[in-house]
Structure 1
Amino acid sequence: MTRSARRPRRMVQVAGAGAAALLALSACSSSSGSPKTAESAAAPSPKPSGTVTVFAAASLKESFTTLGKQFEKEHPGTKVSFNFGGSDTLAASITGGAPADVFAAASPKTMAIVSDKRDTTAAPVTFARNQLEIATLPGNPDKVSSLKDLTGSGLKVVLCDKTVPCGAAAQKALAASGLKLTPVSYEQDVKSALTKVELKEADAAVVYRTDVKAAGDKVRGVEFPESAEAVNDYPIAPLKDAPNPETAKAFIALVTSAEGRKVLAEAGFLQP
């Protein structure tokens, strides 16, 4: 009776000691692992530094220049270097190996020239949209009030090249209205088309509303309903083999932020 009564108590004591040992080992394991986890979670992302090179559509010149200055102010020690031009020309340069960190195009089609070749490291994001407008001479001496008026004889009209987003959009608007227009010249980017009117080398040009706004009193803008049929989306993406990938991400974050969209809206861009 005495022996049988003591055995269960001894077994309980042994079992209790084993459980305590397991708990102690578990506590040691947790305490030794937690500092590493906390350390890795608290590790800060690299701060933007150095020069970030941005290839951007010509129509983004004013708004991106403003955003570039803002970025440099927010991140002392950084510099934003821009290459503005026709989106198709910029895309060809990128796929040809030109060193750049970011590409902002005036249409998904021109962005696809780069992304289809896997020259981007993330999916392009649409950050703005743009609509066409007619730019005429100051005061609109030829009384242009519609897209159809541009087909009148004796009127010198300039369009962007058909391979450029603004030119492709113009062709789409003309097709939507059933009109045919033979310009005096096709320009390689929207700024070149606008300059023809500013220099009075042309009577009118089909450009973006943002470019008309940027030109101020150098031209007169005329809206036309067919432009709603040819609104361009503007995508942006970081590039493969970017010399400064971390700063590229930070610049794209600014462009797509509420702060960036405010600057774009003030320039006349539509929300994405």
Structure 2
Amino acid sequence: VPAGNPAGITGIADFANADLILAICASEVPCGVAAETVFDAAGITPSVDSLEEDVRAALTKVELGEVDAALVYVTDVLAAGEAVEGIDFPETEAAVNSYPIATLAGAPNPDAAQAWVEFILSEVGASALQDAGFRSP
């Protein structure tokens, strides 16, 4: 939501409110698939005004005040800084993305690849991921 939450959005149920101007990602892109999963988990049919090509486009509409809210990833909310505010709601647990990490057989620099994996899995790496809104590996 825009900073200050002028529309008073409190949770996912507000996405069924036709009086609000809302944006989500189109169903053809990953953030749209995640949005559909969240709406299914909440048992609501959203009243959406704008289908966007990616999460950045949806968030930009919030930053510009063109919509009352958009359903985006927490990582994008954190990256946007003070221009937007995030609202936590339990239904997002249904749409958690997983990002595997591994070294590749035949990698041109296997030692660096292994060091990168070890860093990401370390306490420092996990903390950096959490600061950016990701869960611990």
TM-score of the superposition, structure 1-length normalised?
0.45
Identify the structure with the greater strand proportion. Answer: 1
Q: CA deviation at 1:167?
A: 2.1
Q: Name the structure 2 match of 1:157.
A: 22
Relative distance call for 1:240 and 1:198 in structure 2 (3 A) is farther
SS in 2 for 1:144: coil
* Contact 1:238-1:245 within 8 A present in 2 as well: no
Tell me the equivalent position of 1:145: 10
Q: In the TM superposition, what are the counterparts of 1:29-68 in structure 2 within 5 Å?
A: none
Q: Which runs of 5+ in 1 are unaligned?
A: 1-135
Distance in 2 of aligned mates of 1:190 and 1:258: 29
Poorly superposed stretches of 4+, deviation over 6 Å: none
Q: CA deviation at 1:268?
A: 2.3
Counterpart in the other structure of 2:36: 171
Q: Please tell me the residue identity of whatever aligns with 1:149.
A: D
The unaligned stretches of length 5 or more in structure 2 are none
Contact 2:127 2:136 in 1 (8 A): no
The structure that has the greater radius of gyration is 1
Q: What do residues 174-222 of structure 1 show as CA deviations (whole Å, max 9, x unaligned)?
A: 0112111243333333222212211222221111222222222101211
Other-structure match for 2:90 = 225
Task: Give deviations 1:84-119, integer Å, cap 9, x for gaps.
Answer: xxxxxxxxxxxxxxxxxxxxxxxxxxxxxxxxxxxx
1:222-254, CA deviations, whole angstroms, 9 ceiling, x for partnerless residues?
A: 111211222222223455776x44344433332
The separation in 1 between residues aligned to 2:42 and 2:106, in whole angstroms, is 44
Aligned counterpart for 1:209 among listed residues 74, 94, 97: 74
Q: CA offsets, 1:32-83, max 9 Å, x none?
A: xxxxxxxxxxxxxxxxxxxxxxxxxxxxxxxxxxxxxxxxxxxxxxxxxxxx
| Alpha-carbon distance change, 191 to 240 in structure 1, aligned in 2, over 3 angstroms | farther
Q: How does 1:1-272 map to 2 (within 5 A)?
A: 136-238=1-103, 244-246=108-110, 247-272=112-137
* Contact 1:261/1:271 (8 A) holds in 2: yes
Name the stretch that deviates more: 183-192 or 145-154: 183-192
Cα distance change, pair 163–238 in 1 and its aligned pair in 2 (3 A): farther
C-alpha change, 1:151 and 1:269, in structure 2 (3 Å) is: same
CA drift of 1:261 comes to: 0.7
Structure 1 residues 210 and 250, CA gap change in structure 2 (3 angstroms): same
Partner AA of 1:147 in structure 2: I
- Contact 1:159-1:167 within 8 A present in 2 as well: yes
TM-score computed with the length of structure 2 as normaliser: 0.82
2:117 counterpart letter in structure 1:
I
Percentage of pairs with the same residue: 44
Q: Count matched residues.
A: 136
How far apart are residue 143 of structure 1 and its match?
Answer: 0.8
Pairwise CA RMSD of aligned residues?
2.3
